[in-house]
Structure 1
Amino acid sequence: MRPKPSSIDASRRAGPAPAAWNGGVKFFHWLVALLILVQFALGWLAVGWRLSPTKLDLFVWHKSIGVLVLALVLLRLAWRLLAPPAPALPAHMAAWERAAAHASHVLLYVLMLALPLSGWVVQSTSGMPFRIFWQWPLPVIAAADKAASDLAAIVHLSLGIALAALLAVHIGAALRHHFIQRDEVLTRMLPTRRRAS
């Protein structure tokens, strides 16, 4: 039985799965990854630093980069929706591994959005004005409320811990694919790997 013309046209438009991620996806992946690592360091330093102008500056950097991460993740999502097809998962992966990979990526996006948004709520409910990189006022998205600010801070910290744990799993899975299963899951995201045409 021959396939319907419509299905043939669709497969031609989609084309074969590429060997590596496209340059835009790689750019957003590594830039956001770097900024998240910087955020963990800045947050840890800011909380532990003695009360001083340096402590305030660390928080300004942390909050400003948080807004930047939120914007970049939204752009990254838009790019993923509009970009060419993603590379296919290795054929040897079991169904549960594919499901786990998909679920972990969805959860990563959820946490990368929820974490800066919760920080935005902390800032808004604190009642203190804030300028992104000392230049642009951050809009207030919630009324000033001490109890709400304390609760949002706990949520923000919890989300940060969850993201750190999930990133550890994500990195561990990538290294497992590279060194144990010896497939191309990691190398296809590396900047040096070119996307097949």
Structure 2
Amino acid sequence: RVLGARMRHSKFDGANGARPRKLLQQILKLASLLEEGTSEEIEAAHKQFLKDLALYEFGMSKIQVVADTSLREVQAYKSLQADLQSEMEKTSAEIEKLKERVAHERIVRKNKEEYTVLAKTVEHLPSRKQTEKDKTELQDQLLRLEEQTSAQHQKMELRKKQMLLLLHLAEEMKANLDDDDDQLEQMALSGTSPLPLPPVSPGDVEMGEAEA
């Protein structure tokens, strides 16, 4: 009964060969001695079997301790892995936030630099009062130029008319001279004397000079 209880406690199943062969051989020897051996041999075999069984149970307990320790280590590793995964996700989220913050800071810094450049440019520009003054002066200059241009145009038109008048007078004088030459030539051929020229009054001279 004691042997059966110990075997059940140690979960011994020699049939599947999972236990040490030495214990199986001792069981077979003990069974043989129970049929043919003396009580001393049976007692000695029984003690040896119990001793080997105790050693086996001790070894199995050590294996169980190692297995339990390994299981706890695996569980601890899984827990640590979960913690690391959580920390990695948290770190990744913080990195993304830092990236967004860095991008925002870059935009802010760029805007500040552009504002500084614009401020320096504005400092070198004239004031609004000076700009209005310059604008008024330019408008006055444009107005004077327009007036001068108009006066020059009128003057050119007048000179053009005077030139046309002079050309017309020159053509008339040439035509009159040609007529006089023809009359003189005819009179010379006919033997008649030329007609006396009409007297020229001072008023006619002044009128001619005025027309010229």
For the pair shown, the structure with the greater C-alpha radius of gyration is 2
Structure whose residues are more often helix by fraction = 2
The TM-score, its normalising length taken from structure 2, stands at 0.26
- Structure with the bigger RCO (C-alpha within 8 Å, sep 6+) is 1
